[in-house]
Amino acid sequence: MKSLELLVEKIILSSRWILVAFYLGLVAALGVYAVSFGYKFLKIAQNVFVYEDFEMILAMLALIDAALVASLIVMVMISGYENFVSRFDEANDEVSFLGKLDAGSLKIKVASSIVAISSIHLLQVFLNANQYTDSKLMWLTIIHIAFVVSAVMLGYLEVMMNGKKKASDADKI
């Protein structure tokens, strides 16, 4: 019976390598998104003397939005691989810019990125408010507020968990 238990544990632990397929898919998606970004940039560059100020601001916000989404993808790939699959053996100094991301701090960084992306999208909408109904503006604002509240709650929970963790570590001493 013990050998069956060890086999099941080995299979479960080995299954984390299936995540590599997801991370490689995200690498490919990032490449596709980079092509999309390049297309948007070329379109903006071609119209640089045609766009009005507000159109240029909207175009720049779209590029910033794309950069934030790409950064989010990279953050999830690197920290997800490091946390759930395997440590980066050779590249520790190359990924040190992320710091040590555990699952809790990763959730907070992802939530913060989502709030930033939502903020930029909402700003784009408000700069084109005349193209949206009041109802649509209201719902977009409510959704953004929900993202903000979720991020704040995740941050609060992380602080609470770290406080409990420090207290239990202090009890061990």
**Phi/psi class of residue 88: alpha, beta or left (left: φ > 0; alpha: ψ in -120 to 50)?**
beta
- Label residue 154 by pLDDT band (50, 70, 90): confident
Mean pLDDT of 36-51: 95
Q: DSSP secondary-structure letter at 99? A: -
pLDDT at position 168 is: 63
Work out the average pLDDT over 148-173: 77
Q: pLDDT band for 169, please (50, 70, 90 cuts).
A: low
| Per-residue pLDDT tens over the stretch 48-98 | 999 988 889 989 999 999 999 999 899 888 888 887 888 776 665 665 655
Residue 99 clears pLDDT 80, i.e. is over it = no
pLDDT number for residue 43:
95
Interval 105-127 mean pLDDT: 86
User: Cα(106)–Cα(156) distance, rounded to whole angstroms?
Assistant: 14
Q: 115-147 burial, b if ≥16 CB within 10 A, otherwise e?
A: bbbbbbbbbbbeeeeeeeeeeeeeebeeebeeb
pLDDT at 138 over 90: yes
Percent of the chain at pLDDT > 70 equals: 85
Q: What is the pLDDT of residue 149?
A: 93
Q: What is the mean pLDDT of the chain?
A: 86
Answer whether residue 173 shows pLDDT above 70: no
pTM score over 0.85: no
Residue type, 136: K
For residues 2 and 166, the model is more confident at: 2
